[in-house]
């Protein structure tokens, strides 16, 4: 059912994760809006921030390190990586024709 009767103190982990994830988003916006960086530097810095964002989500919210019962999370991570690769790689590949037409 909804909610477990036992509460293990204040959810610090979630609060820290929440603040950090918002901070990373704000930093990405700030980089683009307020800094006058070359485009390639901007893209690389956003990508680096995104990697940290992924780590925060996986470690602080998605209980990556907790092991209990069947390893569903391993299967779903592999599938997630497959989907991410397909979407990003596929889109780059599909949109590559644009450099030929424009």
Partner 1 sequence: MLHSLLQLGDKYFMWNEGPMIWTSDVLIVLTSLGIIGVLTYLKRWNWLWKEWLTTVDHKKIGIMYIIAAFAMFFRGGMDGLIIRAQLAVPNNQFLNAEHYDQVFTTHGTIMILFMAMPFIIGLMNIAVPLQIGARDVAFPYLNALSFWLFFFAALLFNISFVIGGSPDAGWTSYAPLAGPFYDTGVGENYYLISLQITGIGTIATGINFLVTILKMRAPGMTLMKMPMFTWSILVTSIIIIFAFPVLTVTLALLMFDRLFGAQFFSVTHGGLPMMWANLFWIWGHPEVYIVILPAFGVFSEVVSTFSHKRLFGYKAMVVSMVAIAILSFTTWVHHFFTMGAGASVNSFFSFSTMLIAVPTGVKMFNWLFTMYKGRIQFTTSMLWALAFIPNFLIGGLTGVMLAVAPADYQYHNSYFLVAHFHYVLIAGTVFGVFSGLYYWWPKMFGHILNEKIGKWAFWIFMISFNMTFMPMYFLGLMGMTRRMYTYPAGLGWGPLNMIETIGALGMGLGFVVMVYDIVYSIRHPEKDLTGDPWDGRTLEWSIPSPAPEYNFAVIPEVKGIDAYWMMKHPKGQEPEPTKAVDKSKIRPIHMPNNSYRPFIISVAFFVAGFGFIWQWYWLGIPGLIVVVIGLFLRSFEYDDEHFISTEEIVQTETAAGRL
Residues of this chain that interact with partner 1 (CB under 8 A) are 1-3, 72, 79-80, 82-83, 86-87, 90-91, 93-98, 100-101
Distance, C-alpha 101 to centroid of its chain: 33
Q: Which is nearer to partner 1, 51 or 82 (CB)?
A: 82
Q: Can you state the angle between helices 39-56 and 12-34, rounded to 10 degrees?
A: 170
* Nearest distance in Å: CB 100, partner 1: 8
Q: Rg for the chain (alpha carbons), in Å?
A: 19
* Nearest distance in Å: CB 6, partner 1: 11
CA distance 69 to 11: 23
* Nearest distance in Å: CB 99, partner 1: 11
């Amino acid at each position: 059912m909804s909610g477990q009767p036992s509460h293990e103190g204040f959810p610090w982990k979630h609060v820290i994760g929440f603040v950090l994830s918002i901070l990373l988003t704000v930093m990405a916006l700030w980089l683009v809006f307020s800094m006058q960086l070359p485009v390639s530097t901007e893209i690389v810095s956003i990508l680096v921030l995104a990697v940290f964002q992924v780590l925060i989500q996986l470690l602080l919210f998605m209980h990556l390190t907790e092991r209990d019962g069947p390893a569903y999370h391993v299967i779903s991570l592999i599938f997630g990586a497959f989907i991410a690769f397909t979407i990003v790689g596929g889109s780059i590949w599909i949109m590559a024709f644009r450099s030929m037409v424009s």
